[in-house]
Chains A and B, each alone.
Chain A
Amino acid sequence: MATGFPTKANWSAGDLLTSSQMDDLAATVNTLSTASSTSGQVATSAGANAAVTWTDMPGMTLISTTSLSGASVTLSSIPQTYKKLILFVKNPINATASGALNIKLNNGSGAFISGTYLSTNFSYVGSPIKTPANYTNTNADQGFWLEIDDYTNTSGNIKPILFYGFWTAPDTPFNSAGMWYGSSAITSIVISNTGGNFTSGTALLYGVR
């Protein structure tokens, strides 16, 4: 048999070949083993002739879903395994009065954001991240989207954020960008409504790899 041909002719799907079985005693053929992988992962090259590594598929993963209730909603023990967090709060309703929505990262007040709604500019320095106007307490067709990049970084003092959303009465979109000051990794988020206790709504937390 010619050098380089397998010594076994009838292989089955899924068979794992060793170097000797492949008559490749110099081990110049790299085989792909799933031994260290988990379901859904993809193979990534680690360089020429190096064994592949298995990593989770890049993309956006829904980490948690929380129904809004009470004076505040705290998301804690946020996993530190993503590049970016996205918090989507939709249909926030409260029982008492219209109010602005506040978001505190690590329960702090480190926002420096600036943006616009309609023709109005707004800016917050050293406060919670907050909507620039009150959300109507009885209307569900509202929400906001908060992106926090580099949220696990502990070597710098700023984390880039994008914050945008929509409220009603009158229908108004807003957008803003800025930084969150703080050298700690973001491990918790507190959401509250200055108008009163939440009675319904949902907080969806996503992680982006």
Chain B
Amino acid sequence: MTNPIGRFHNIETGEIVDRELTDAEIADLYDVTSKTTTELNDPAGNK
């Protein structure tokens, strides 16, 4: 089974490439897990 195609436009070079998304890119695309503002302010969890 193939992954969906995504479009990638490099603004600096003007190059536009349509290619299959990697599994990691798909995971990122559909990662809509919410975070609290505390987590957003402190992504490393240091506070």
Number of inter-chain CB pairs below 8 Å: 91
Closest residue to A64 on the B side, CB-wise? B11
Q: Are B40 and A125 in contact (CB under 8 A)?
A: yes
Distance from A99 Cβ to chain B, minimum over Cβ atoms (Å): 12
What's the Cα separation between A123 and B21 when bound, in Å? 30
> Which one, A50-58, A104-112, A131-139, is touching chain B?
A104-112
What's the Cα separation between A109 and B39 when bound, in Å? 11
Out of B12, B28, B36, which one reaches A125, CB within 8 Å?
A: B36
Residues of the B chain whose Cβ atoms lie less than 8 Å from the Cβ of A157? 41
Number of interface residues of B (CB under 8 A): 28
Q: Are B35 and A126 in contact (CB under 8 A)?
A: yes
The DSSP consensus for interface residues of chain A is strand
Closest residue to A67 on the B side, CB-wise? B7
Closest residue to A70 on the B side, CB-wise? B5
Residues of the B chain whose Cβ atoms lie less than 8 Å from the Cβ of A128? 32
Most buried by A among B7, B10, B33, B35: B7
Closest residue to B33 on the A side, CB-wise? A109
> Would A74 and B39 be within 8 Å (CB), given that A109-B31, A125-B34 are in contact?
no
Fill in one digit per residue for B5-33: 1 if any A CB lies within 8 Å of its CB, else 0: 11111111110101001000110110111
Out of A66, A127, A192, which one reaches B9, CB within 8 Å?
A: A66
Distance from B18 Cβ to chain A, minimum over Cβ atoms (Å): 6
Residues of the A chain whose Cβ atoms lie less than 8 Å from the Cβ of B46? none
Q: Are B40 and A126 in contact (CB under 8 A)?
A: yes
